[in-house]
Amino acid sequence: MPLITVHLIENVFSPEDKVEMITKLTDTMVAIEGEAMRNVTWVKIEEVPEGQWGIGGTALTAGLVDAMKAG
Amino acid sequence: MPLITVHLIENVFSPEDKVEMITKLTDTMVAIEGEAMRNVTWVKIEEVPEGQWGIGGTALTAGLVDAMKAG
Amino acid sequence: MPLITVHLIENVFSPEDKVEMITKLTDTMVAIEGEAMRNVTWVKIEEVPEGQWGIGGTALTAGLVDAMKAG
Amino acid sequence: MPLITVHLIENVFSPEDKVEMITKLTDTMVAIEGEAMRNVTWVKIEEVPEGQWGIGGTALTAGLVDAMKAG
Amino acid sequence: MPLITVHLIENVFSPEDKVEMITKLTDTMVAIEGEAMRNVTWVKIEEVPEGQWGIGGTALTAGLVDAMKAG
Amino acid sequence: MPLITVHLIENVFSPEDKVEMITKLTDTMVAIEGEAMRNVTWVKIEEVPEGQWGIGGTALTAGLVDAMKAG
C-alpha cells in the first residue's frame, strides 16, 4: 500500500540517480513498515519539464537547480 | 466532479488501449453515479517512463510488465 | 502497476458506492490489461471536503452535486 | 507550503502562457496568504498528451480544445 | 480541462480564504486561457494534516506556518 | 524542488512513524541530491480512509494491512 511519488525537474538527475532513489526510498520505507510490506511498496518518479516548476513565481531551469545544488 | 487519474508505465499500452480505458472507465463511473454526471466525469491518463516506477525497489521496464501480463 | 485515483466530493457517495467503484473500476481495467495484472491494479479514492472543489469558480456543495445528479 | 499543481493538455498553451501561469497564480496566492509566504509557494505544471484526457468519455485533442477556446 | 490542485496544511486558512482561492485562481487562469474555458476550469483544494508536511525534514504545524506568515 | 508524496491507509501508522518517514525519506533524498538541496526538499503524507484503497479489487482495512505487516 505505501505509494511514494517523487516529483523532480527534468535534466537534473541521471538515470542512475533515479534508480538509486527507487531503491533507497523503498529501503527507507521498508525499514519503518517492516519487510513483509516490501512487495506492496511502490515508488514512482514523475519529472516536470524545465520552465514548468516555479518557486516564488520564478520558473526553474536545470541550470538554476544545478547552481542550487552547488550551494 | 468525479476525476479519475490513471497512472501507467510508458510503452505498455497502445493508443487504442488508452482510448478504451477512457471510454470504459467513464461508462463504469457513470453507471454508478448516474447519466446526468457524464459531462463532469473526467479521466486523464499519465504515463511514467520505463525505469521510473519501482515495485518493492525493482524499477520496471515495459518488458517486465509484458512478462507479468503473460502471467 | 496501473494505479487509478478517484477524486470525489465528500458526502455525495455512500460507502457502498465507493466499494462498487473499487470493484468495478478494477474489473474494467483488468478486462483491458489482462487478468494476470489484477494483483498489481490499485484503486484509491480520495474525497475533497464540500466547498473545496470549484467548477468555473463556484465552490460545490454536496447539495449542488445532488441537484446535478438529479439532472 | 502552498503547492499548486496545474494539469493541462499538451500543445494548447505556449511556453509564454505557462510562464504567465506560474507568475500570476503565484501572485494570486501570495495576495491571499501574505508576501512572507512567497518563497514557499510552488507552482508546477504537468501536461497530459493529446488523446489521454477525456471529458464525458471523449478523448480531447488540442484541436478540440482550441475550438472550445474559440467559444 | 485546466485542473488546478492546491495543497495546503490544515488549520492555516479559513473557509473564506479557501473560497477566495477558488474564485481568484479560477479568474487568473481564465484571464490567460479565455472566458470560453471557464466552465471546464476546475480548482480543488486538498489539506494535509499538521505534522504530515515536512520542509527539509521538519514537520510543519499550523503554528509554525503562522510564524512564517508573520515574516 | 524534489517533492515526495507518500500515500498511506489511515490507522496503520502512528504519528511517530509518520514523523520518522518525513525525517528519513528527506535524509535519503538529500544523500543523493546533496545537502544544499535540503531546504527545497518537501515530503507530504496523505492518508486514504480504510475501505477506500483497493488492491486487485479488494478494499483494504487497517486490520488487513496489519495482517500483511505480520507477514
- Length of chain F as a residue count: 71
From the list F18, F30, F38, the residue facing E52 with the nearest CB is F18
Asked if the Cβ–Cβ distance from E71 to D36 is below 8 Å, we say yes
pLDDT value at residue A71: 78
User: Tens of pLDDT along chain A (71 residues)?
Assistant: 899 999 999 999 999 999 999 999 999 999 999 999 999 999 999 999 999 999 999 999 999 999 989 87
| Strand B42-48 versus strand B3-9 pairing type | parallel
Task: For residues D52 and B46, give the distance between their C-alpha atoms in angstroms, rounded to a whole number.
Answer: 8
Interface contacts A/C by beta carbons within 8 Å: 5
Q: Which three cell numbers stand for residue F55?
A: 488492491
Pairing of strands A42-48, A3-9: parallel
- Report the residue from F52, F56, F57 with minimal CB separation from C44: F52
Residue F38 to residue E54, Cβ atoms within 8 A: no
Direct distance between the N- and C-terminal alpha carbons of chain D, in angstroms, rounded to an integer: 36
List, for residues B40-69, the tens digit of each pLDDT value: 999 999 999 999 999 999 999 999 999 999
**pLDDT tens digits, residue range F22-32?**
999 999 999 99
CA-CA distance, A54 to D2, in Å (whole number)? 12
Yes or no: say if B26 and B65 are a contact pair by the CB < 8 Å rule. no
Residue from B45, B46, B52, B53 to probe the interface with A (highest A Cβ count within 10 Å): B52
Q: Which residues of A touch D27 (CB under 8 A)?
A: 57
Q: What SS3 class is residue A45?
A: strand
Whole-angstrom distance, CA of residue B39 vs CA of residue B20: 18
Look at D28 and E33 and tell me if their CB atoms are within 8 Å: no
| d(C-alpha D47, C-alpha D52), whole Å | 10
Strands (E), E1-71: 3-9, 42-48, 53-55, 58-59
Q: Chain B neighbours among D 7-66 (CB < 8 Å)?
A: 7, 46, 48-49, 51-59
Q: Which three cell numbers stand for residue A40?
A: 506492496
A19: distance to nearest CA of chain F, Å?
11
Chain E residues within 8 A of B44 when measuring between CB atoms: 3
- Which one, of F17, B28, D48, E41, lies nearest residue C28 by Cα? B28
Nearest to F54 by CA among C27, B54, A26, B17: C27
For chain D, how many helices (H) and strands (E)?
2, 4
* DSSP SS3 for A50: coil
The C-alpha R_g of chain C, in whole angstroms, comes to 15
Of the candidates F6, D49, F33, D40, the one whose C-alpha atom is nearest the C-alpha of residue A49 is D49
Mean pLDDT of chain B: 96
Nearest CA in chain C to B38: C69
Q: Which residue of A has its CA nearest to C40?
A: A40
Confidence of residue E1 (pLDDT cuts 50, 70, 90): confident
Residue D69 C-alpha cell reads as 477556446
In angstroms, the separation between the Cα of residue E32 and the nearest Cα of chain C is 14
Residue F71 scores a pLDDT above 90: no
For F13-47, letters b (16+ CB in 10 Å) and e give beeeebbebbbbbbebbbebbeeebbebbbbbbbb
Q: Tell me the chain D residues in contact with residue F3 when contact means C-beta distances shorter than 8 Å.
A: 3, 42, 44
Nearest CA in chain C to A44: C1
Name the grid cell of F21: 518517514
**Helix segments in A1-71, DSSP class H:** 15-33, 62-69
Whether E33 and E41 have beta carbons less than 8 Å apart is answered as yes
* A to F contact (≥3 Cβ pairs closer than 8 Å): yes
Query: What number of CA atoms fall less than 13 Å from residue A57's CA on the CB side?
Result: 13
ipTM for the whole predicted complex goes beyond 0.90: yes
Verdict on whether the full-model pTM lies above 0.80: yes
Ordered domains of chain D (ranges, CATH): 3-69 (3.30.429.10)
What tens digit of pLDDT does each residue of D5-30 get?
Answer: 999 999 999 999 999 999 999 999 99
